[in-house]
Amino acid sequence: MRPRELHNCPGLIASNYKVSRVSAGSFQHEFTPKTTGTIYVVYTSSSAPVVVVGHSYNVGYVPQDNGKRLVDQNDIVEITDVDQLERVTLFEASLAEMGKIFDREKYKNDDRVKPHVHGGEYYWGKKYAWRVFGLLLGKGAFHAYLKEVGHPHIDCVVDNPDDRYPAGPSFAYLENGLEDAIRSLIVTAVKEGQYYKSPLYSKRFTIKPLGSLSDKK
């Protein structure tokens, strides 16, 4: 039976793979997604690789207190579906675009969103979260989806000196798990006419072609 606390990361492209001996007949395998430093750990009785670098996988894991993610070998499934692979590739490309604006938007978030750190965790004001993590989605779908899946958030005040409106109440999303939540929506999406549908979200939505992305205001 799977642990109740099992989380899922669909469309992970394996990278930075390494294996080390823990003891006689016990080996620790570690890998990260292509675009983040999050470490996934698998323990097996063999040194044979459990993933292939550059291949895409759906991975189930249990979060650990040290920030790593513990995976059972049975919870690693390689993606072979062409349509899903297309969504994985698109999301990875969007992360590369995200990297170009990340530092600038984080500076704004640090400066304008109060609080942006709460309980030792980092939070993104809703506007900056959409700019950084929602490149492929419309603003409405981004916020509605995160509300529907219950992504953690806190109340905050946003004070933007460049805005014609005075500082006012808003909310900010927990950074931890935000990328995974959007990844899950994109990777599980299935085309229905001009829209997409995902089992994670009750409404249809659009996914923007990467070439149409522009800096959001």
Kindly report the CATH number assigned to the domain that includes residue 29: 2.40.50
Could you give the C-alpha distances from 214 to 101, 133, 134, 143, 202, in angstroms and in order? 11, 13, 12, 19, 27
Task: Tell me the pLDDT tens digit for each residue of 112-169.
Answer: 999 999 999 999 999 999 999 998 999 999 999 999 999 999 999 998 777 666 667 8
**Does 193 fall in a domain?**
yes
User: Which one, of 103, 97, 113, lies nearest residue 173 by Cα?
Assistant: 113
User: Which one, of 102, 101, 81, lies nearest residue 187 by Cα?
Assistant: 81
The yes-or-no verdict on residue 213 having pLDDT over 60 is: no
Specify the number of domains making up the chain: 2
The yes-or-no verdict on residue 212 having pLDDT over 60 is: no
Which of the four pLDDT bands, split at 50, 70 and 90, describes residue 217?
very low
Domain that holds residue 30: 7-78
Which of the four pLDDT bands, split at 50, 70 and 90, describes residue 211?
low
Which of the four pLDDT bands, split at 50, 70 and 90, describes residue 1?
very low
Task: Tell me the pLDDT tens digit for each residue of 80-123.
Answer: 989 889 889 889 888 888 888 999 999 999 999 999 999 999 99
Percent of the chain past pLDDT 70, that is, above it, reads: 93
Q: What is the pLDDT of residue 94?
A: 87
**Bridge partners for 117 per DSSP:** 122
Question: Which of 59, 78, 97 is a domain's end point?
Answer: 78
Query: Please, what is the average pLDDT of the chain?
Result: 89
- Domain match, 122 and 68 both: no
State pTM to two decimals.
0.82
